Amino acid sequence: MNWINTAVKILCWKKESWRDWHIIVIFRNFDVLIITTNMKHFILFLGIFIISIQLLWSQDEAQWWGPNRDGIYPEPGLLTAWPETGPPLLWHFDELGSGHSSAAIAGDRIYVAGVINGIGNIYCFTLDGKLLWKVPYGEEWMESWPGVRSTPLIKEGKIYLLSGMGKLVCCNAVDGALIWSTDVTKDYDGRIIKWGYAENLAFEGNKIFCTPGGINNNVIALDKNTGKLVWSSKGAGEVSAYCSPAIVRLTNKTLLVTHTEKHILGLDANTGTLLWSQEQANQASVHANTPINKEGMLFCSSGYGRGGVMLQLSPDGSSAKELWRNGSMDNRMGGFVLLNGRLYGSDDLNKAWYCLDWKTGKELGSAKITGKGNIISAEGLLYCYSDKGEIVLASPGTDGLTRVSGFNVPFGTDQHWAHLVIAKGRLFVRHGSSIMVYNIKK
C-alpha cells in the first residue's frame, strides 16, 4: 500500500490509565476523522482499521494485460463512441525515453518505465500527470528495437520489473527505493535471446515467476518479499520466447503456462513440476502472446504463420490434448480477447482482424478495421491499437468486428507496440517516449 497516499496518522497520549487513551486517526483518502477516549472503542477501531488496510492492499495491484491477464478491463461507464478527433486528451508526458511497455495503474499512482542513455528508469505519476519521482534501475536493452520491454508489476506496495538484460528488480512503490534484485543471467544461467527479455512478470501467492531460459533454471519462482529462490524447473531446456505467462486456476491445482523456444509448457505453480508440454514452433522462436484459459480450455497463438492452437486440460491439469488449430489469427505479439464465446484479434501479415469460434476454431468473419496491432476490451467493446499508430474502438459481432470510432496517436516516437491500458475511466497510451492519458468516461 502507498503510505504517502493513505497518510494514516495515529496520535495517542495517555491520560490517567491505559484504558483512557485518546486516539485521533486521519485517513486523507477517506476524509474520516475518528476520536475516542475509550479502550473498547479503540479495539473496535483497530479491527476496522485492519480490514481497511487489507482492502487497500487488494486495490493496490496492477499487472500486465488487466487484472486477470486476459486483456479484459472491468471498467464501467465508458463512452460507446468517440468524437472524430478521439476522446479528450487529459495530459501527456514526452520524456520517458525509449520503450514498448505499458503503464501500470495502482491506487492513484501511475508507473511506467523508459530508457534514457542506456539506463532504465521507473517513473511515478499522479493521475493528473504530476511526475512524483524517477528512479534508475540499471542497464537496459539498447540493441535491435531498443527500450524497456516489461510492464511494471505492482503488488502490495512493491514494484517488480524485468529488464531486457535480465535484471529483475523489486522496488518500493512509494519512492522507488530498491528492495532486492537478481540478475537471471548470472544467478540462474539465463540466456539472453535475440531481442532481449520481454517477459511481463506474473505472480501467485508469495511467488513471482520468471523464465530465464537456462538449461537448469529454465523457469523459476522467487519469493516476492526477499527474492530468494522458491523453486526451479528445467522445463524443456529451451531458451525463453518473449512470452508473458498465464496463471491457470483449476479446482485442485494452479498452473503456470508459458511458451519457450519450441513448446508450450504447463507447470505446477506451487512446485515447478513440469506437467506437460505441447509442440509449438515457428521460424523465429517468437511466442510473445499470453495464453488465455476458460474452463479448462487453453488458447495459445504465435506469429510468423504458425497460428493458434486450442488445448483441453485434464481436470487436474496434469495433461493437455490438442482440440483444434487455426492459422488465421497468427498474431505475433498483439494478443487476443475472448468475448461471448468468440476470439478476436489481428493476424501477423496485416490481412485483417478475425473472429473465431472459441470451441471449434471456425473462422466466423474478418474485417480490415485498421492495421494489425494489439487488442483489449472493456464493457463489451474492443480497443484496437494499430502498429501504424491508429486507435480504433470496435464493436464485436457474431461474424466479425465493426469499426465505431478511431483517431491517430499524436505524440511519441518509434514503434506503436505498447498495449493499451484502461483504468479510472481513462485510456493510457504508450508510444515510445510519450505517455498519453485520455478521458473515456461517459
Distance separating alpha carbons of residues 427 and 73, to the nearest angstrom = 11
3-state secondary structure at position 428:
strand
Say what the pLDDT of residue 208 is: 98
Residue 266 burial (CB count, 10 A): 26
Average pLDDT across each block of 10 residues of the chain; the chain has 442 residues. List them in order.
38 37 39 49 54 48 96 98 97 98 97 98 98 98 97 98 98 98 98 98 98 98 98 98 98 97 98 98 96 97 95 97 95 96 95 96 97 98 98 97 98 98 98 98 96
State the pLDDT at residue 15: 38
CA distances for 176 relative to 53, 123, 207, 237, 291, angstroms: 21, 9, 21, 35, 31
Question: What is the C-alpha separation between 125 and 434, in angstroms, rounded?
Answer: 13
Strand ranges for 31-177 from DSSP E: 32-36, 61-62, 89-93, 104-106, 109-116, 119-126, 131-139, 153-155, 158-162, 167-172
**420 in Cβ contact with 409 (< 8 Å):** no
Task: Specify the pTM.
Answer: 0.88
Beta carbons within 10 angstroms of residue 397's beta carbon: 15
- Mark 322-340 as b/e (b = at least 16 C-beta within 10 Å): eebebebbbbbbbbbbbbe
Burial class (CB in 10 A: 0-12, 13-18, 19+), 404: middle
- CA 163 to mean position of chain CA atoms: 15
Cell numbers found for residue 369: 478495421
Structural domains in the chain plus CATH codes: 3-56 (no CATH), 60-439 (2.130.10.10)
Residue 276 in contact with residue 322, Cβ under 8 Å? no
pLDDT of residue 46: 55
